[in-house]
Structure 1
Amino acid sequence: MDSALPSASANASADKPLVLDLGGIGDAPLRLIGGKALNLGKLLAAGFSVPHGFCLTTVAYELAAPPGLDALAAELDALGSGAGEASGTVTAGTVAGRARALIAEAPIPHAVDAAVRAAYAEMGGTLPVAVRSSATAEDLPFASFAGQQDSYLDVVGADAVVEAVRRCWASLWSDRAVAYRSANGFGNNDVGLAVVVQAMIDAATAGVLFTANPVTGTRTETVVNASPGSGQAVVSGAVNPDQFVLETASGRIQRRTPGGTEPRRSPGVSDQRLQELAALGDAVQRLFGAPQDIEWAVDAGGKVWLTQSRPITTLYPLPEAAPDDAAGAAPATRVYLCGTLFQGLTRPITPMGLAVLELMRNNKGHWRYVNPGLRMYVDLTAVLRSKSGRAYLLRMLPLADGRSGAVLPALLEDPRFGVIKHRFLQSLRQGRAKRGLPRPARRAGGTENSASLGLFLQLLPAMVRPAFRPAAELRRAKSYGKQLESWLHLAEPASPAQRLEYTEQILSRTVNGLIQATLPGPSVGYIMLAVARRLLRGIAPPRELEAVLRGLPHNITTEMDLELWHLAVSIGDDPVSREEFLTKRPEELSAGYLAGQLPPQAQAGVRGFLARYGHRAVAEIDLGMPRWSEQPDHILGMISNYLRVEDPEQAPDRQFARAAELAEDRIRSLVDRTRVRNPWRARALELSLRRVRQLAGLRELPKFYIVLVLGEMHRQLLRIGADLASTGVIAAAEDVFFLDFDELRVGLRGADLHGIVADRRRLYDIELRRRRIPRLLLSDGTDVEAAVMAKAPASGGLAGTPASAGTATGRVRVILNPVGAHLEPGEILVAPSTDPGWTPLFLTAGALVMEMGGVISHGAVVAREYGIPAVVGVPDATTRLRTGQTVTVDGASGTIRTEP
């Protein structure tokens, strides 16, 4: 095709043309030609076979956009943000429909019509073409918009091409495209649409190939879908294609999955063709520098054509290379475990939150950590390749996370992770020598080895103390909190530089003392639980001990939840406050509280509660998360939920008291049964169980105090952020949480940090939308659980790990974020995972179902203490269960049964 397309009469200007030849796009900006055209132009420039054609630029769309479209786009943005009216007759769908109707009825400008017709005439005037949308928010590294706008195939004739162009423009406002933009944070006024017109390939075979496995995430595999005829049938799902998985480097075919309805149908592509496609895909991936989703077609003469290439945006980010792998030509595959999920977090952690976790880790030992996807992963490779390490993982991993434990055997059988003698200790020593100590740890003084050994030696005698004097241990642990609060004080006035130095040093000054003061008590409590389990061998099954942990006293998180309940009761006793909380949304209540405008009784009560617990937050181990004292939406929403409890027997304090009574009854029963066997054994059992009741509840105290420290760090960093924002270094005070300490020092010297913050916020927002987080991740990107499930037969059951005995039948309430969540008393709480910020919901939940966790995970432990049935580690529970369904949760068998 001649690239000298009409420009004088049909083009708006030389720098903003209406039409560009695909072969001459060159460095045209994304805003002019859209993602699809841009990628096709790059393929052509690199010498790949791409059907010839032209691009009608976004200038044409802007000229054709009818009056009123901008107003509708603004209305859609308001609806998407929640600021508009999303009920009644005004919905995103109705507004989008009006936008499509405007485009369908508006005349196409003469210059645009003439440009399309002239360019099509250059192609021959009667050639069948494909007319495809190319949006400016499409085929981006972080959002593909695959299938959101329309394409039209086998279009013949100028009139038909012009009409297909109009329909492509209208598809920018389809319900699915509008919803996708809203979900991915794109404004409706921020996107434009170009249109690609290409010659059709008379395909003998066509399909799609992925240069990384889109299901498992493995970057070393190519997946090819193929079917006879047009590739559109494969893309649209109209046919069931043949599927092949190849090892990219060697071209070896690893799996074949025939498509169609005939089980013996011969494949549509030969092995040689598959290897050619894998090599072609690898070359395209190298061109774009990222895994690609490529549409291809083979014509009757056997030539392979590429009709589209876009980035695969759903892959989980790769971990950074290990230091000892960087120099090697073929680095060994490594295994990483997601520590973030073990903390009950599915969301990403802010960059400052990760920096602070790094400081805390440096006080703890030698493990190597990486942060792909802004989540914390620990390198388990050395443990997995050690005989003793394997035994430890097999024993502990199923308890911490049932789903990780279920796929662990697959890793143990993988020859890449075979046992190497002394590998574990040797790897730790080598890793320590290569990494050295980070600057903050050096500045704190001493070495990790001496600090860890010293802490261990100090804890040993402290572990004896609680066993003999539990009451004194309780007083000691709780009095430490008052000392800690007095230490968390920076003399005012302080400069931003002084605040930064103070904030960075807090952890090194407090964490070891905090552990010494608070860890012995709960540790002895759970050691005594293990002693009791041994004393009951042959007398009672371990499951009976679960009731002993219900209604535990001295649990700071339980105390917080019950205080919140009592606050709700006092607010409910005041008619004005009650009406306010039952009629307003949490964010409205929050704004009223922060302005000091809640009814007096409610204002004073909330202020008192936040004076003690305002340093807490949802996902509170992330320093960057807003504390309840600055955003109390979550707490105020919980009060509104509690006010809806009408049955006195469902009141949380009554339920907690019953749980404590059940625990005492169970202790008496177990001791009586043991006394029949041996009176001395019964006395030892009773002493053990009493110590469990007195001390195990303290398990939340170390974290409570750590979060108190984090709350002070958060407050000081916000003060620094306000100073930086006032000088224009960053846009808002909260931007400090998207920087690290060194960058803040640079910012205090006046450097502009807007660009760094913007890039990190973009990544953070992408990760916030990610639903599936690999619990076990290989360095080649493989999600181990997904890989195991891909090979396993499909199961229709809904089951997980039994975590808290009992059964409950109720309506499902799927909650992805507890902030502002509404949970009716007795409803079944279904969540991805939970941390202490979720626990106020537990007090009125009928049962708990979680996608993450094992029997010792936080949600499971709290559910047992509160006495509600719980099943954890249920794959895809938040998508397989729907709000409003009625289900029965059996916490003993680990099953969820749907009721008619």
Structure 2
Amino acid sequence: EQLADHFGFEFCTVMGSFLTHVFHYIHLLPIFLVSFLGSIILFPIPSSPDGFKRLFVSAGHMQMMTDVILPLGMSFMHKVSLFRMVECGGRLFIDITHDMKTVYGKKMIHQKMAAMDPLIHRAIEQVMADKEYLASIPKGAGSFSSFGLSHWIPMLRQGIRLYRRNNPEDIDQYVERMEASVRELRQTLERLSGSEVLDAIEQDQSRLMDVIYDSTGFGAVLATQYAIGQIDRLGKQLTGESNLSNRLSKSVEHNVSSEMGLALSEVSDLIRDYPEVQSYLEESGAEFTFFGLKGVPGGEVVAQALEDFLQRYGMRATGEIDITKTRFRENPAELIPTILSNIRSLPVGHAQATFQQGVSETQKIIEDILYQAKQKLGRKKAKKLEKNITFFRHYLGTREYPKYFWICRYDVYKQALMREAKELVKQGVLDQAEDIYYLTFEELRHMMATQQRNQSLIEERKAAYSGYAHLTPPRVIFSDGEVPEIDYARQIPTGALAGLGVSSGMVEGRARVIKSIEDAVIAPGDILVTSFTDPSWTPVFVSLAGLVTEIGGMMTHGAVITREYGLPAVVGVVGATQRIKDGDLIRINGDEGYVEIL
């Protein structure tokens, strides 16, 4: 209480025995919590609007991005979210208090949370077991209720249509329609300036929601989930195998993230023919420029190939759901470590050969399964299984498209915003263009209208977010600061680190603990250990032997891509990047879901 009074904190709980360990963080936060539940948790407390003890879930864990989101990024995230979210510690949290009492809310918790992050699901289950707390929750609309039947029905209708047709041309038409929409947006914003740009972006936000939740894009995802259920059900009858669909996930069509990995491998293979280009990339590092590249023999050819790659994938970024994150287009140097690793470690054509090998191996598995199905289940069920497998192989990769086109639109927004920000720098309104990241969208609009900035606010937020960046957000937290204690509650070898096995197999290798893709120097046989992966990490998977992440679930990015590449993977390993040291020899068990440090 004395600390709270002295520093002006709204709430401050310090356990005396840990004071010396946390005191140096005090200047970072206006509100902070230290809780002991097997570990120290230092994080601001989400506020309750009515004083009731509310339960919040980390939106970052659900989106595979637990880094801070800057204020401008927060503004855009609020626009695309279907849920009520609060800002806390530079992160977003979803209030699911009322969802725990509604039939629809509980269904969404059981179905969606378990697939996204099993530890979040277990924590909510633990809270829901407290009948006294549940009974005390006042009446109110849940966060999930905003995504009701009016949203689901068009998706389900289109999903049924896609499933019946089972025609890959439907995907091509969807992609062409989305790409045309992005081109139209770019052309519109290029014609505008000043406040008109912000008006157009705000107007397009409603269209962005239609892009993300497009009935064809999401209908394909729903239909694929149905096909997975049918494959796994019939596979269980046939072989006793619980998740047959996982074995059929290698080298699927229409996966824009995997295609990015293949495309960057082709750039890497091209560079092999130009040793001067390779030398330039090794020496330039973070100082890479296209001007410098074009100045060496072969540089013009490689520059064209790299520019073509960035034309299609340059909008990608680590933590890309935050519009303020640096895109590949803005800093191509982030790709250089992956390119050089491919050249040094992999033979020419390795990625393409591996992809084709995956196609061949999966086709053989399918032929064997269908033969068994005809013998054991009869021709009718075998035909049904074949239809579901064919649809699954055609459409599994389409789950990457909704986010891809979301990020495409974000990139167009950002290019327009940065053009205006640079103009404000020329006019002396801003010190640097990136200062707009520390303003909300409405604050940016006000600054452009008045031509006056609040520099003290910008500096204050820079200091605050610098502090937030050092904090680890909890998966689940109450508004009074309580953090439910959660674990996997199962037996694993002594000393092993528990997680969720999402891609089968066992492998031993050197741990490469990497926080950012620009540090991703990978050799064959290495196991990537990181906080999370998103589509921007996909080019790295070409060289990996396995994957360990701190967050994730069965249907998150790392899980899906490792199954497609046939790599063992364990996700949701709490504290993996601290407990595993770079260079450690580790063994991961993707079947049982644990990691051993050898």
1:765 correspondence with 2:478: no
Unaligned runs of 5+ in 2: 35-39
AA of the residue aligned to 2:206: S
Cα distance in 1 for residues equivalent to 2:326 and 2:211: 26
Cα distance in 1 for residues equivalent to 2:285 and 2:150: 48
Q: 1:753 deviation in Å?
A: 2.4
CA RMSD of aligned residues (A): 3.2
Cα distance in 2 for residues equivalent to 1:603 and 1:456: 45
Q: 1:401 deviation in Å?
A: 0.9
1:865 correspondence with 2:564: yes
Q: Pick from 658, 666, 686 the counterpart of residue 365 of structure 2.
A: 666
1:696 correspondence with 2:396: yes
Question: Is the contact between residue 507 and residue 587 of structure 2 (CA under 8 Å) also seen in structure 1?
Answer: yes
Q: Counterpart of 1:220?
A: none
Deviations 1:797-853 (A, max 9, x none): 212111100122111100111223212222010001111111111111110001111
Question: Is the contact between residue 730 and residue 753 of structure 1 (CA under 8 Å) also seen in structure 2?
Answer: no
Deviations 1:414-470 (A, max 9, x none): 35532579x7xx5218999xxxxxxxxxxxxxxx89xx7655443343223322142
Q: Counterpart of 1:497?
A: 195
Q: 1:745 deviation in Å?
A: 2.0
Q: 1:866 deviation in Å?
A: 1.2
Question: Is the contact between residue 473 and residue 521 of structure 1 (CA under 8 Å) also seen in structure 2?
Answer: no
Cα distance in 2 for residues equivalent to 1:709 and 1:737: 17
Cα distance in 1 for residues equivalent to 2:107 and 2:222: 22
The 5 Å alignment of 1:8-23 reads: none
1:212 correspondence with 2:35: no
Q: Counterpart of 1:167?
A: none
1:412 correspondence with 2:412: no
Question: Is the contact between residue 552 and residue 660 of structure 1 (CA under 8 Å) also seen in structure 2?
Answer: yes
Indicate the SS of the match to 2:42.
coil
Q: Pick from 154, 161, 184 the counterpart of residue 487 of structure 1.
A: 184
Q: Pick from 147, 152, 157 the counterpart of residue 461 of structure 1.
A: 157
Cα distance in 2 for residues equivalent to 1:532 and 1:499: 48
Q: Counterpart of 1:315?
A: 42
Indicate the SS of the match to 1:615.
coil
Q: 1:507 deviation in Å?
A: 2.1
Q: Counterpart of 1:856?
A: 555
AA of the residue aligned to 2:173: R
Cα distance in 2 for residues equivalent to 1:321 and 1:594: 54
Q: Pick from 403, 410, 416 the counterpart of residue 119 of structure 2.
A: 403
The 5 Å alignment of 1:351-370 reads: 351-361=71-81, 364=82, 367-370=83-86
AA of the residue aligned to 2:210: N
Q: 1:731 deviation in Å?
A: 1.6
Residues matched between the structures, number: 574
The 5 Å alignment of 1:10-159 reads: none
Cα distance in 1 for residues equivalent to 2:78 and 2:401: 22
Q: 1:752 to 1:474 in 2, by over 3 A?
A: closer
Q: 1:536 to 1:351 in 2, by over 3 A?
A: same
1:555 correspondence with 2:255: yes
Q: 1:735 to 1:521 in 2, by over 3 A?
A: same
Question: Is the contact between residue 813 and residue 884 of structure 1 (CA under 8 Å) also seen in structure 2?
Answer: yes
Question: Is the contact between residue 189 and residue 416 of structure 2 (CA under 8 Å) also seen in structure 1?
Answer: no
Q: Pick from 448, 451, 454 the counterpart of residue 753 of structure 1.
A: 454
Q: Counterpart of 1:802?
A: 501
Indicate the SS of the match to 2:188.
coil
Indicate the SS of the match to 1:376.
strand
AA of the residue aligned to 2:508: T
Q: 1:597 to 1:401 in 2, by over 3 A?
A: farther
Q: Counterpart of 1:684?
A: 384
1:375 correspondence with 2:56: no
Cα distance in 2 for residues equivalent to 1:525 and 1:890: 27
Unaligned runs of 5+ in 1: 1-38, 47-138, 142-209, 214-222, 227-233, 237-284, 294-312, 326-330, 433-447
Q: 1:585 to 1:878 in 2, by over 3 A?
A: farther
Q: Pick from 421, 430, 436 the counterpart of residue 736 of structure 1.
A: 436
AA of the residue aligned to 1:351: P
Q: 1:588 deviation in Å?
A: 2.4
Indicate the SS of the match to 1:584.
helix
Q: 1:420 to 1:389 in 2, by over 3 A?
A: farther
Cα distance in 2 for residues equivalent to 1:760 and 1:887: 40
Q: 1:819 to 1:661 in 2, by over 3 A?
A: same
The 5 Å alignment of 1:196-595 reads: 212=13, 223-225=15-17, 315-322=42-49, 325=50, 331-361=51-81, 364=82, 367-386=83-102, 389-390=105-106, 392-415=108-131, 417-419=133-135, 426-428=139-141, 455-467=151-163, 468-488=165-185, 489-490=187-188, 493-512=191-210, 515-540=214-239, 541-581=241-281, 583-584=282-283, 586-589=285-288, 591-592=289-290
Q: Counterpart of 1:709?
A: 409
Structure having the higher helix fraction is 2
Question: Is the contact between residue 385 and residue 420 of structure 1 (CA under 8 Å) also seen in structure 2?
Answer: no
Q: 1:640 deviation in Å?
A: 1.4
Tell which structure's C-alpha radius of gyration is larger: 1
Deviations 1:666-708 (A, max 9, x none): 2222212221121110011001100000111111111111111
Q: 1:513 to 1:851 in 2, by over 3 A?
A: closer
Question: Is the contact between residue 211 and residue 402 of structure 2 (CA under 8 Å) also seen in structure 1?
Answer: no
Question: Is the contact between residue 507 and residue 709 of structure 1 (CA under 8 Å) also seen in structure 2?
Answer: no
The 5 Å alignment of 1:803-882 reads: 803-882=502-581
Cα distance in 1 for residues equivalent to 2:64 and 2:283: 29
Task: Indicate the structure whose relative CO is greater, using CA pairs within 8 Å and at least 6 residues apart.
Answer: 2
Indicate the SS of the match to 2:182.
helix
Identity of aligned residues (%): 24
AA of the residue aligned to 2:121: G
Cα distance in 2 for residues equivalent to 1:339 and 1:387: 22
Deviations 1:262-312 (A, max 9, x none): xxxxxxxxxxxxxxxxxxxxxxx9xx986699xxxxxxxxxxxxxxxxxxx
Q: 1:617 deviation in Å?
A: 1.4
Q: 1:878 to 1:416 in 2, by over 3 A?
A: farther
Cα distance in 2 for residues equivalent to 1:398 and 1:491: 40
AA of the residue aligned to 2:469: L
Indicate the SS of the match to 1:720.
helix
Deviations 1:171-223 (A, max 9, x none): xxxxxxxxxxxxxxxxxxxxxxxxxxxxxxxxxxxxxxx9625xxxxxxxxx3
Cα distance in 2 for residues equivalent to 1:866 and 1:638: 17
Question: Is the contact between residue 403 and residue 853 of structure 1 (CA under 8 Å) also seen in structure 2?
Answer: no
The 5 Å alignment of 1:625-636 reads: 625-636=325-336
